[in-house]
Amino acid sequence: MAQTLFITGASSGIGAATARAAAEAGWNTALFARSADRLRDLADELGGQALVLTGDATDAEALSDAAARCADHFGGIDAGFANAGRGLSKPGTEAGDLDDIRGMIDLNVTGVVLTARALLPHLRRSKGTLVLTGSAAGRRHIAGSIYGATKWFVHGYAGNLAEEMREWGGRCGVVAPGMVDTPFFDAGAPDKLQPQDVAAAVLQMITAPERAAIREVFLMPQQG
């Protein structure tokens, strides 16, 4: 029976590329994001291997309901990808809009915790793997970057989850890319990573032999 991957932030960019890579590898995919139209288009592309689950990654009830629907539809969840996240329209501690800052922290920090809470009961049954989207910005200090600080949280939380999940045979890791060619970054930066590069790393993490726990994959553009 095909294994199942639950993806947040699945409607575009890294999330959509990971759904495509997983489907090509024979996985079922549960596509969770706010944009119903984009999810339906992606699901049509992937065929019967995809389930559309519309919701907000900061909504605990929506995440729990989506995880339950996914498990019921496919018979379980074998891996999760907590990928939903965003940056700021105007970065900087003083320059940034306070509501924008709060919204980003809620999605990048609380949303990751809520995703883990929703998926862990299902992953415990399958001894599955959870991957979090970190960033190169979560591995070094960047002047005034609140976004970077949220990714430092993700990296720390991934390590803590890995220790928790290994107690029952599960695995957790973080994929940490540099600049990726997605709408997240402004146009014009040359030699970015492609979304499918990150997707390949996620697939490596969730398909690794049971004896191997890949705690982090750090990706940077080779040039630029």
CATH number at residue 47: 3.40.50.720
Q: pLDDT digits over 46-75, tens only?
A: 988 999 999 999 999 999 999 999 999 999
User: Taking residues 84-91, what's their average pLDDT?
Assistant: 93
147 catalytic? Reply is yes
Residue 187 lies in a domain: yes
Residue 107 lies in a domain: yes
Residue 224 lies in a domain: no
Q: Is the pLDDT of residue 217 over 90?
A: yes
Residue 123 lies in a domain: yes
User: Quick one: tokens of 120?
Assistant: 């862990």
Q: pLDDT digits over 133-143, tens only?
A: 999 999 999 99
What is the per-residue pLDDT for 5?
98
Q: pLDDT digits over 89-105, tens only?
A: 888 888 889 999 999 99
Separation CA 46–CA 143 (nearest Å): 41
What is the per-residue pLDDT for 184?
56
Question: Based on the structure, what is the number of domains in the chain?
Answer: 1
Asked if residue 92 lies in contact with residue 138, where contact means CB atoms within 8 angstroms, the answer is no
Q: pLDDT digits over 141-199, tens only?
A: 999 999 999 999 999 999 999 999 999 999 999 999 999 987 655 554 557 899 999 99
Residue 92 lies in a domain: yes
Catalytic residue among 6, 32, 74, 147: 147
First-to-last alpha carbon distance for the chain, in angstroms, is: 43
What is the per-residue pLDDT for 190?
57
Query: Which domain does 206 fall in, by range?
Result: 4-219
- Name which of 67, 75, 82, 102 is nearest 9 in CA terms: 82
Residue 93 lies in a domain: yes
